[in-house]
Structure 1
Amino acid sequence: MSDNFISLAIEQMNTGDFELWCQEVLARDKSYQFEPTGGMHDGGQDGFVRSISGETTHYVQISKEKGTSSKIRKTFARLRKSREVQKLSYITSQSESERDLLEAKLKLELGVEIEIFDSRWLLIQAKLHDGLRQSLFSFSKDLIDGLNNVKHSDRSLDVSSRLSIVSYLEAHVCSLPGTENFQNVCLDTLVYDALVDTDPDADNFCSTATIREQIQKDHPNVLAKANETLDERLAFLTSKANDPRIRRHPNDQFALPYSVRNSFGEDNVKVAAKSDQFVGSINQRFNSEMHENAGELRPFVVACVQDAITETYRKQAMNFAASFTNRDFDADIRVFEIIRLAAKQIDVPEQLTEQVEALSSKIFRKICYSASEEEQDYLNLLMKFFTIQFVMDGDQAVTSYFSDMAASMRVYVGTDIIVRCLSETLVPETSRGMTNSLKLLTEAGVRLRVTRQTISEVFSHIRLSTRVFRNEYEPWFRHATLEQTINCDRILIRSFFYAFLEPGRHVRAPRDWSDYLRNFGAAVWFAKTDDITTDEYLDEFGSFLVDKFGLDFVEIDEILQNIDAELATKISNDILQQRDSTTDGSKILAMNDSQMALFVNFERTSRSERISNNLYGFKTWWLTEETAVLRALRNYGQKADVIMHPQFLMNHFILDPNVMKTGNGQRKKIMPTLFGLRITDRIPPNEMKDFVRSIGDLAGLDETAQKARIRHAANRLKRTRPR
């Protein structure tokens, strides 16, 4: 069991069971035995307090309550009224990060020896001793059984049983003497997978026919896409050039040597541990939400989050596969819909559905945007798994590695990408998905470019967000809750409220909106909200963006004069119709998008970039999650393969053998794995405006009355929202 499962079991034990188990731990590790009588074992506020057998001046207290120092002081004060105390040992289920310092302070204050054993010490004891671990889980049997017995989706269960294929592929790539064609690597990996249970000592082998049959059953396209046949790959894998990692035996029989089999076995254990740790981590996050009916909700929430995470990565991989052939795909992954479906599939009781969905959504968001190192490790594993699966199963082959593509790519960064990067400014570095994408691309040699038109769009976006905040949120933002603000359709306003209301999950909390704007240069740049399109301060802001994200600034006005203006207008009008907006700002944005798409096509033609039947023939791209422009281009017979989705580059990045072999720890920590998520089912903008208007003028009301007015408006919104 993982550390998280052990910690969860310790947390969830009732007080009586915790006291009994801790006595076992002390007997095993310290050889402590207790006097059968005496002490203050009242089972109440003080918990277990008893002296050590043969050491009547040494007392032990076991407690699950918070406030270690105050508990020790109170216990010592009570004991010394009637007993001599020279030493007090305190065992707690809480974590004491400065345990040594606390022991020293209390020893100086009380004049007796103090030793503290906290949750970390208990965790270590459970990991060291099988008997203590089994005893712990026997006390938590209902909890563990509840988690194990919840129904999961068939797809989620299948993924859990197949994750080891990632470690097989990575181990194989690292063992290769040089760079190998990726389709051949995939075929080799499936050969290893087919042979993983072979054992020459047990006379357990696989023939070529058996290996072929299993590969055709699980991944039929791999055999067709590989540059070499199965026979050729088996010849290579059993040759001295490969060390050899597969052994050929008489009569066309194959098996893995002990060293390889043992290595894969260890990898499988590690993968299983990562899965356990992730489930334990979901439990820990569930605990922090503190619900009265936690026992009833826990199994469903844990399963729902786990299944929703799995399905989200599957959908991302589908988008990756679709981008190979420029097929339409929805980059906006609606997590709230995935969670609702997951809740149905695991048969959540109707009376619990709303709570399960709300809690699952909250935990999902926290995992995405403030993932622990263990969580990030598991998310990386899922991303690799689904990327590899869809590359194996898809019709198209990976014909170039990312490292080969990167140096020649000229990528124009879209407005939506930069705005998303700005929205990540206050989240921890490891959770800045889009920002880290740009960083990794730049380090890999991709030239990221930004035009004056894009800088102007981002600038106007911030000014418009400022105007919306000043007019609609500033009078009441200090009394707001996340539930009341996450429905805002302005991403920067949402990111402000997340940082303002959840300071513990961000690098700092902004004091107000002006303080938040200072993260984008200077607040004064965006103060002129009466004319959001004015160019005042635009150059300063452009310099800020170029420096912050490592972009190359380029002017394209002259090139745009070569674009068919009439065609650009038609495509722009089509985009406007799709977006269902006719504001002056929307018209400018639609025209800019139309011109950018036509500009990319013009650049490719003028630079004689190779035309092929897949994306590997092009070097010039527009990096964006925008999709309306693609449909508009097709409607007017234009090439629509102008967009490069950020997710594609990151998926391709992790397939690069150079990335797998280096295993850079820092790069792994910041590797983004999730893109384009809509975790919350946001209400329509008109309903949000009605909510803001219903709050009304708060001037003259005291703080209590202001909060009451806001709550009333929020409750009315809830009642009018259909499920």
Structure 2
Amino acid sequence: MRFILWSSQMGQSLLQNGLFQRGKVTKIAHRALELTFEKEGLELATFLTGEKDENSYPAISDQVDTAVDEAGLNGASAILAKEVALGVLRKAFYSSEEHERLYYGKLSRTFSLMLTLRNEPKVVEYFKGMSGNFVLLIGSDIIIRALSERYLPEADQMTVNMLRILRASGSKLLLTRMVADEVHAHLEGTDYEFINWFAELEPYMTPELVRHCKKILVRAYFYARFDRSNNARPAGWKSFLGQFCDYADLHRTEKARDQIKGYLIEKFGFDYLDDEDLSLLTDDSEVSALAAKFKSIKSEEVLALNDARQILAVYGKRREMREGHKPNPYGYRSWWLTHETKVRHATADLIHKKGSQYIIRPEFILNFISLSPRMEEVRASYNAVFPTLLGVRLANRMREDIFHDVMGRAKEMKSVDDARAKVMMAEMSNRLKGDNFKRYEIELSSGLLG
């Protein structure tokens, strides 16, 4: 595999320093992949059985830590090995080749099927009985992740390819008014984040700093800008956001919302549910009562109301389509497609009353398509780009308040010339490599960097 060769080449410089044996980074990268897909399989299995209220994407960086420990490395050699392994895996995920994607697919299906069937045998019946024509209310988290893939090679656009595969399998993808509003609000918030923390420092930003930003679209923008091999990379921040709506209109709410809604419908083939459509599926008093249960887990009242209406719209859609009560809890067609699970523990009584869950995860549907005999044609058509890393994130990030503290310190570079600023940023980036950022967090939190 290409990334194995690359890891070996990168390892040569470290071998010259006698830091670790030949091939250890290769083994670490392989082992981290196995651990990641095993973790993803467990997450999916516990989600289906309702044993876990909140999902946390398995982070590959955590699995690299485990693989480094298993390899017996410590100290400077462990930090260097982790840095090289993460570099290898980033390139393998975001600039992948077909044989690498096929390998990921085999790992993903093996662990997901093995662990899911062990925990929930009813899934077998589900795979046999469903025809693939789902009706899916798409979550804003899925859409934002799809937008972040704009500058990746087509084969590595995991979320975009998932939506394309779902449409090809006969599924109907629904965009609600609430979700369109949330996407717009996210773009607004991301723009403020960029203006406040990154605009002045853009010429000095490094991958080590960028990866700690919580805003996925900011990371996507910088990674695209860092990729000098991509001639189509964005010219600047305004043109990056201008792909989704006119930048000048972004903070003019109604106009921007209409532009974003139109873009999403055209780009992803969504059908749109406006307020009138939603009023036929949900009851305002029920929405308000359910939203009240989310106050402790949602930062804003509007987000609680949005989630409540989205959840009740799923049950309303099932009622409209006369799906009725299913003996198999996974046999419904209508679902909320999202990785959002914080609301689950607050809706136990609703789930009991309705007799079924309302959330379905992308990994589960893709496993259905990849394993169902009826989906053979769709699976074959998209075999080379079949997404297998949807429930995975590459790295953990420092807390947002700590990251903003780091960026605030970086702004002090305005008082020095360009050459000195680049050196200072490089020093800061080096401190954030490997596990160093955890130590950096402690130092900042305790005031040791004063």
- Give the alignment's TM-score, normalised by structure 1: 0.55
Residue of structure 2 in register with 1:248 after alignment: none
| 1:608–1:497 CA distance, 2 compared to 1 (3 A) | same
Q: Deviations over 1:26-59 (max 9, x none)?
A: xxxxxxxxxxxxxxxxxxxxxxxxxxxxxxxxxx
The answer as to 2:151 corresponding to 1:426 is yes
Maintained 8 Å contact 1:308/1:342: yes
Question: Does structure 1 retain, via aligned residues, the 8 Å contact 2:176–2:273?
Answer: yes
Q: Residue 304 of structure 1 contacts residue 339 of structure 1 at CA under 8 Å; is this kept in 2?
A: yes
Report deviation, 1:715: 6.0
TM-fit CA distance, 1:694: 0.7
Give, as a single letter, the amino acid of the residue that structure 2 aligns with 1:405: S
- Per the alignment, residue 28 of structure 1 pairs with none
1:376 is displaced (CA, Å) by 1.2
1 CA distance for matches of 2:311 and 2:347? 8
Check if 1:571 corresponds to 2:296: no
Shift of 1:314: 1.7
* Residues 1:570 and 1:562: Cα distance change in structure 2 (over 3 Å): closer
| Displacement after TM superposition at 1:515 (Å) | 2.1
Given that residues 336 and 681 in structure 1 are in contact (C-alpha distance below 8 angstroms), is that contact kept between their aligned partners in structure 2?
Answer: yes
1:710 aligns with 2:435: no
Q: Residues 466 and 426 from structure 1, CA distance in 2 versus in 1: closer, same or farther, beyond 3 angstroms?
A: same
Residue in 1 aligned with 2:279?
A: 558
Could you list the runs of 5+ residues in structure 2 that have no partner in the other structure? Answer: 444-450
1:103-150 C-alpha deviation (Å, 9 max, x unpaired): xxxxxxxxxxxxxxxxxxxxxxxxxxxxxxxxxxxxxxxxxxxxxxxx
SS in 2 for 1:673: coil
Q: Does 1:547 align with 2:291?
A: no
Which consecutive unaligned segments of at least 5 residues does structure 1 have?
1-277
Matched-pair identity in %: 24
CA apart distance, 1:519: 2.8
How far did residue 392 of structure 1 move? 4.9
Residue 517 of structure 1: CA displacement? 1.5
Deviation of 1:359 (Å): 1.7
Q: Give me the whole-angstrom Cα distance separating, in 1, the residues matched to 2:56 and 2:368.
A: 17
For the residue of structure 2 that corresponds to 1:621, the secondary structure is strand
Determine which structure has greater relative contact order: mean sequence separation of CA pairs < 8 Å that are 6+ residues apart, divided by chain length.
2
Q: Secondary structure, in 3 states, of the residue corresponding to 1:405?
A: coil
Query: Which residue identity does 1:597 align to in structure 2?
Result: I
Aligned residues: 429
Structure 1 position 705, deviation (Å): 2.7
Cα distance per residue 1:234-288 (max 9 Å; x no partner): xxxxxxxxxxxxxxxxxxxxxxxxxxxxxxxxxxxxxxxxxxxx3x632324425
Give the 3 Å change call, closer, same or farther, for CA 716–653 of structure 1 in structure 2.
Answer: closer
Q: Which of 519, 532, 557 lines up with 2:243 in the alignment?
A: 519
The equivalences for 1:340-355 within 5 A come to 340-355=65-80
CA distance in 1, matches of 2:56, 2:329: 18
Equivalent position of 2:446 in the other structure: none
Q: Which residue of 2 aligns with 1:488?
A: 213
Rg larger for: 1
Distance in 2 of aligned mates of 1:339 and 1:298 = 17
Matching of residue 592 in structure 1 with residue 311 in structure 2: no
2:368 aligned partner: 652
Deviations 1:208-253 (A, max 9, x none): xxxxxxxxxxxxxxxxxxxxxxxxxxxxxxxxxxxxxxxxxxxxxx
Q: Distance in 2 between matches of 1:511 and 1:543?
A: 23
- Output one character per residue of 1:364-384: Cα deviation in whole Å (capped at 9) or x when no partner: 222122211221121122223
Residue pair 1:694, 1:713 contacting (<8 A) in 2 also? no
**2:132 aligned residue (383, 406, 409):** 406
Rounded Cα–Cα distance in structure 2 between residues aligned with 1:716 and 1:308? 23
**Cα separation, partners in 2 of 1:320 and 1:402, compared to 1, 3 Å:** farther
TM-score by length of 2: 0.86
CA–CA distance in structure 2, aligned partners of residues 420 and 507 of structure 1: 22
Larger mean CA deviation between 564-573 and 709-718 belongs to: 709-718
Equivalent of residue 510 in structure 1, options 208, 213, 234? 234
Report the counterpart of residue 121 of structure 1 in structure 2.
none
Alignment of 1:670-685 (within 5 A): 670-685=385-400
- Residue identity matched to 2:49: T
Aligned ranges 1:141-220 → 2 under 5 Å: none
Q: Quick check: 322-331 or 420-429, which moved more?
A: 322-331
Deviation at 1:404, TM superposition (A): 3.8
TM-align CA RMSD: 2.7
Map of 2:118 onto structure 1: 393
Displacement of 1:637 in angstroms is: 6.7
Q: Corresponding residue for 2:318?
A: 604
Distance in 2 (alpha carbons) for counterparts of 1:707 and 1:539: 41
The residue identity in structure 2 corresponding to 1:537 is A
Contact 2:58–2:392 (8 Å) recurs in 1: yes
SS in 2 for 1:487: coil
Shift of 1:687: 0.6
CA contact (8 A) 2:245 2:256 kept: no
Aligned pairs for 1:264-663 (under 5 A) are: 278=1, 281-288=3-10, 291-293=13-15, 296=20, 298-328=22-52, 330-390=55-115, 392-397=117-122, 398-401=124-127, 404-407=130-133, 409-504=134-229, 508-526=232-250, 528=251, 534-555=253-274, 556-559=277-280, 560-576=282-298, 581=299, 586-605=300-319, 607-612=321-326, 614-634=328-348, 641-660=357-376
